[in-house]
Amino acid sequence: MQLLFADQPGPHFDLGGEILLPEVLSQFSKRNYHRQKAHLILYAIRARARDARVSSPKLDSYKQLVGQPDLATAVSPTSREMLALAEHLNLELSPARGFCSSSEDWLAFRTDKSPRLENFYRRQRVRLDVLMEGQEPSGGQWNFDHENRKPAPKGGLGLQHFEIVEDDLDQEVRETLDGLVAQGKASFIGLDGPRKFAGTREQALAALSHFIDHQLDAFGPYEDAVFDGEWVLAHSMLSAPMNLGLLDPMEVVRAVEASYLNGSASIQSAEGFIRQVIGWRDYVWHLYWEYGEQYLESNFLQATNPLPDSWSDLDSSLIEANCISKTINNVSENAWTHHIQRLMILGNVALQRGYDPRAVNDWLVDAFVDGTPWVMPANAIGMSLFADGGRMSTKPYAAGGAYINRMSNYCGGCKFDPRIRVGEKACPITAGYWNFLAKNEAKLSGNQRMWQSLAGLRRLSDIDLVVDHESKRQSL
């Protein structure tokens, strides 16, 4: 009998025989998860358990699986915790699925002279023969990033994103979660539904088709845009069904490639999207295993500030800065924001304000519907917080309010002014940027890529005032 982990309900994890998919509600007591995340996971388990080959006992703990006589196989799980369990149970493990490269492909890549994302991505394109014309990349370039940085037009993109119609199972799941809360067995953050993300294979395929038909062509140019009033824009919302094991990333990639080949999507959109999946997604997956548990303790910038309550409780009413408040509100309402809100608003603020990297990592895993132990370390500890001192990214992703003002429509509705560094209207992102550079100048001065930013810092005549003002700022 195959042990199926909760993030393996899709057909690509099915080894063909009898399946055991346990429902372990005590997992929700461990931390304060977003309500919609708990809902989606439980919905997906129960929907998969409707298959006649699947039995789904309700267990208090995974430990109860010890001694189950028929349990023999599993597909390698996605976390160190579940791998330890599988090994403890002496299961015969088949190699991990749900990614576009194997650990052997990764090892071969790691012998490369420059093991950065761009090289990994190009190797993946060639090896998988995706968007290739012979040995040359389709469209004559590997990368169309410079064409993919447009802010949204004044009225927004006006695209329809995929929407779920809830069913009876949602109601049943809601009652179970309400029961856990009433019994004091779980405490959730964020607003309850309606559910926004696919929880069955059918829903996931419908979400993929919707993205291809209605959003993909706009994905490239508006990949980095942020727009108050349109929380999805042209993003796919497919990280959740992929990370939950409902969609195989290669089927997503082939569908996007087909859309380019039949003329429905431009090369810059198809390439921009495929880079995220065969490039970034696989890259952070392999780094999870390569960097190991210790990576979570990295703290190069010695950042020790706790997360503010407004973040831990997802209470946007406590936040004055419009960009941060709206982003935290998006997380509360949807358990999701798109990449630029994660990296350039939440990540940027956490970096500037010196929030403890481990706390940020864990909060992101718990608060985001697509958050998993494997996806977060490289994205949070590495890319967003530079806590690894540059092992993963070559420089910190720090930016001031000018960037937010260029890429979003948040600043117009804000009590602060992105151009101002000191005083009542001083933008906490702009002042926070200079304050961050001033405080970490010694640690960053050896980094070639920070040279220009640090030269800018040294030209600021009012930097002492900025640092003093930011040290007294009560809230953001």
Residues 340-369 that bind ligand FAD (CB under 6 A): 342-343, 347, 364, 368
Query: Residue 214 is which amino acid?
Result: H
418 binds, among ligand SF4, ligand FAD, none (CB under 5 to 8 A by kind): ligand SF4
**Phi, psi of 388, deg, nearest 5:** -90, 10
Answer yes or no whether residue 10 interacts with ligand FAD by CB under 6 A. Answer: no
CA 256 to CA 268: how far, in whole Å?
12
List, in order, residues 6 or more apart from 193 with CB less than 8 Å away.
35, 36, 39, 166, 170, 174
Rule CB under 6 A: is residue 336 a binding residue for ligand SF4?
A: no
Closest approach, Cβ 86 to ligand FAD, in A, equals 23
Q: Which residue, 175, 204, 207, is CA-closest to 192?
A: 175
Q: How near is the Cβ of 403 to ligand SF4 at its closest, in Å? A: 8
- Given the rule CB under 6 A, which of 36-44, 65-73, 144-152, 413-421 is the region that contacts ligand SF4? 413-421
Over the window 124 to 163, marking each residue x when it contacts ligand FAD by CB under 6 A and - when it does not, the resulting string is ----------------------------------------
Report d(CA 384, CA 377) in Å as an integer: 10
C-alpha pair distances (Å), 322 with each of 52, 171, 282, 325, 329: 50, 34, 34, 5, 10
Burial of 151 (0-12, 13-18, 19+ CB in 10 A): middle
Nearer to ligand SF4, 2 or 341 (CB): 341
Q: By CB under 6 A, which span of 33-41, 92-100, 192-200, 338-346 interacts with ligand FAD?
A: 338-346
On whether the CB atoms of residues 76 and 94 are closer than 8 A, the answer is: yes
| Measured distance CA(296)–CA(79) in Å, rounded | 14
> Is position 33 an interface residue for ligand FAD (rule: CB under 6 A)?
no
- Is residue 308 at the binding interface for ligand SF4, with CB under 6 A as the rule? no
C-alpha distances out from residue 206 to 7, 202, 246, 436, Å: 19, 6, 12, 44
Instruction: Tell me the residue number closest to ligand FAD, measured at CB.
Output: 276
Contact region for ligand FAD (CB under 6 A) — 376-384, 440-448, 454-462, 467-475?
376-384
CA dist 408 and 153 (Å) reads 10
Give the separation between CA 225 and CA 109, rounded to whole angstroms.
32
Q: How many residues bind ligand FAD (CB under 6 A)?
A: 28
String of contacts with ligand SF4 for each residue 420-439, x by CB under 6 A: -------xxx----------
Which residues, numbered 277-296, are part of the site for ligand FAD (CB under 6 A)? 277, 280-281, 284
3-state secondary structure of 14: coil
Work out which of 22, 220, 357, 401 binds ligand SF4, going by CB under 6 A.
Answer: 401
β-pair type (54-55, 73-75): unpaired
d(CA 417, CA 430): 9
Q: How far apart are CA 143 and CA 214, in angstroms?
A: 23
How far apart are CB 433 and ligand SF4 at their closest, in Å? 10
Of residues 177, 314, 321, 463, which one binds ligand SF4 by CB under 6 A?
321
242 interface partner picked from ligand SF4, ligand FAD, none, CB below 5 to 8 A per type? ligand FAD
Residue 364 touches which of ligand SF4, ligand FAD, none (Cβ within 5-8 Å per kind): ligand FAD
Q: Would you say 317 or 448 has its CB closer to ligand SF4?
A: 317
Nearer to ligand SF4, 77 or 401 (CB): 401
Q: Which SS3 state, helix, strand or coil, does residue 79 take?
A: coil
Q: Pick from 1, 42, 85, 323 the residue near ligand SF4 by CB under 6 A.
A: 323
Residue 457, CA distances (Å) to 94, 352, 418, 434, 452 in order: 53, 15, 17, 7, 9
Q: How far apart are CA 189 and CA 289, in angstroms?
A: 29
Peptide bond into 194 cis (omega under 30): yes
Q: Which is nearer to ligand FAD, 48 or 338 (CB)?
A: 338
Q: What, of ligand FAD, ligand SF4, none, does residue 269 touch, CB below 5 to 8 Å by kind?
A: none
Question: If DSSP codes are grouped into helix, strand and coil, which group holds residue 137?
Answer: strand
Residue 142 CB, shortest distance to ligand FAD, in Å, is 17
343 binds, among ligand FAD, ligand SF4, none (CB under 5 to 8 A by kind): ligand FAD
| Interface with ligand FAD (CB under 6 A) | 235-239, 242-243, 273, 276-277, 280-281, 284, 338-339, 342-343, 347, 364, 368, 370-371, 375-376, 379-380, 383-384
Please give the residue ranges that form the binding site for ligand SF4 (CB under 6 A): 321-323, 401, 404-405, 410-411, 414, 416-418, 427-429
